[in-house]
Amino acid sequence: MKNLGREEPQEVQPDRRWIDLLLATGVLASIASFLYPALRYIIPPAVSESTSRSVVATRVGELKNNTSKVFKFGSEPAILIRTADGQYKAFSAVCTHLSCTVQYRGDTRQIWCPCHNGIYDLNGRNVSGPPPRPLTAYEAHVQGEDIVVTRSA
């Protein structure tokens, strides 16, 4: 074993310290750059997860009879309708003609697409105008204080 180091301690000392400093800085900084993301990751985000299978559309009592609400379901708009007799119905709000977003009309009690006057009944069936297919129906249930819309099985 060569003993270069021990014979001239004064000359090697500052060298060694400088290397150690560089090493320590690099290692600590890099470890910090790994730990920082991991720690931020562990903290749950503010937006609670809504799966694309089930979404809380509204609270009980917020939606009046014969009105509707359009909300985001997965990556597409959906419509929740409270009929004149208090029932909740939910459908995909993507018109099957050219994908405009449909609306509920309280006067005719039908679902209507303002782009080309397509009309669907309250079962989602396309009854008039250009839409070639019915709207996809979803299930709406009351769960405690929430109205939850889920995709049908």
Partner 1 sequence: MIPLVAWTICAPVPVRAQDSCVTCHAALEGSLAEPAKLYDGDVHHSAGLGCADCHGGNPKDESMNAMSPAQGFRGAPKKTQIPEFCARCHSNAAFMRRFNPKLRTDQLSEYLTSVHGKRLKQGDTKVAACVDCHSVHNILTVSDPRAAVYPLNVANTCARCHADAGHMKGYNIPANQFALYSESVHAKALAGGDTSAPTCTTCHGNHGATPPGVTSVPNVCGTCHAFNQQLFEKSPHQAAFTKMGLPGCVQCHSNHEIVKPADDWVGVGEGTTCVRCHAKGDPGYAAAQQMAGDIASLKTDYERAEEVLGTAERSGMEVSSAKMELTDANGQLIKARVNVHSFNPAEVRKLTDEGKKISRQAYLSGVGALKERDYRRKGLGVALVFIILAISGLCLKIRQIDSRTGG
Partner 2 sequence: MAGLHRRVLDWLDERFGAGSIEEFLRHKTVPVNRHTIWFYFGGMTLFLFVIQVLTGILLLLYYRPTANDAFESVQYLVTQVKFGWLIRSVHSWSANLMIFTAFIHMFSVYFLKAYRKPRELTWISGMLLFFIVLGFGFSGYLLPWNTLAFFATKVGTDMARFAPFIGEWVLVFLRGGPEVTGATLTRFFGFHVAVLPGLATLLLAVHLLLVQRLGMSVPPDVERAIAEGRGKPRWMPFFPNFLLRDIIGWYAALGVLGALAAIFPWELGTKADPFGSAPAGIRPEWYFLFMFETLKLLPGKMLFIDGELAGLMLFGLAGALWVAVPFLDYKAGFSRVTRFFTGLGVFAIGYILAMSALALRG
Per CB under 8 A, the segment of 10-18, 46-54, 65-73, 106-114 that binds partner 2 is: 46-54
- Interacting residue ranges for partner 1, rule: CB under 8 A: 1-2, 4-5, 15-16, 19-20, 22-27, 29-30, 32-34, 72, 75-77, 94, 98-101, 114-117, 129, 132
Q: Are 56 and 146 in contact (CB under 8 A)?
A: yes
Query: Is residue 61 within the footprint of partner 2 (CB under 8 A)?
Result: no
Q: How far is CA 61 from CA 58, 65, 90, 135, in A?
A: 9, 9, 16, 25
Instruction: Choose from partner 1, partner 2, none: what does 9 bind? Cβ within 5-8 Å by kind.
Output: none
Q: At its nearest, how many Å lie between partner 2 and the CB of residue 134?
A: 19
DSSP tag of 10: H
Q: At its nearest, how many Å lie between partner 1 and the CB of residue 26?
A: 3
Q: Are 114 and 127 in contact (CB under 8 A)?
A: no
Query: Is residue 30 within the footprint of partner 2 (CB under 8 A)?
Result: yes
Cα distance between residue 146 and residue 124, in whole Å: 23
Query: Is residue 53 within the footprint of partner 2 (CB under 8 A)?
Result: yes
Q: Are 61 and 120 in contact (CB under 8 A)?
A: no
